[in-house]
Amino acid sequence: MRRRRQASGLSINRLAVRSGISASTIGTLERGRTPLQSLWTAAALAYALKADPYALAIAAGRSYPAATRSDRDRGHRTVRASDIAGPHRTLTYFGEMLYLWRIRHNRTLTQVAELTGADRLWLSRVERMAAAPSIPTVVKIADGLNLSRTELLVLAMRDQHCRNLYARENMVYAPHVRDLYARSG
């Protein structure tokens, strides 16, 4: 991030003004004292640096260590998020992907919470798109459910990008997707 900022001819203070992130936070991130955790921060910094927010989120996600085999009890390949949606559907929202994975694998929110180490009620809010995950949480969910970190980070950043667009327009983020909990007959 420091190289990108310097190549753009920006001081830390100028980047802070452009991004809305404090100069001390930017300095801490650049020195590597704290890993980038917030998708909102990643999106704001990418926008201010005219960088790809997806690449920034993916790079931040790679900085977290992989779960060990015993942690995940893996016996199969990592599943791509696109495999969850099916051949005629594109996933748009992180919460939608989480819900579809859970239904496809016939799991409850409690079981998903145990696999990922996340709170069950918070996972419910994520599925309903009422909450957004952080980068470390996306990594925990990806590792716990044996999903591609990269794809999940892209979905989560896409959600964050939409949230930012709504916020700029002073609108409430309420995705217009079908009710995920409604059963089709």
Tokens matching residue 42: 């990643």
**pLDDT given at position 103:** 87
Residue 76 has pLDDT above 80, yes or no: no
Q: pLDDT tens for residues 35-73?
A: 889 988 998 999 899 998 888 888 888 888 876 543 444
Q: pLDDT tens for residues 99-139?
A: 888 888 899 999 999 999 999 999 999 888 888 899 999 99
Check residues 179 and 175 and name the one with the higher pLDDT: 175
Q: Can you list the domains of the chain with their CATH numbers?
A: 2-62 (1.10.260.40), 76-168 (1.10.260.40)
**What are all long-range contacts of 12-21, with beta carbons under 8 Å and residues at least 24 apart?**
15/45, 15/48, 15/49, 18/48, 19/44, 19/45, 19/47, 19/48, 19/49, 20/44, 21/45, 21/48
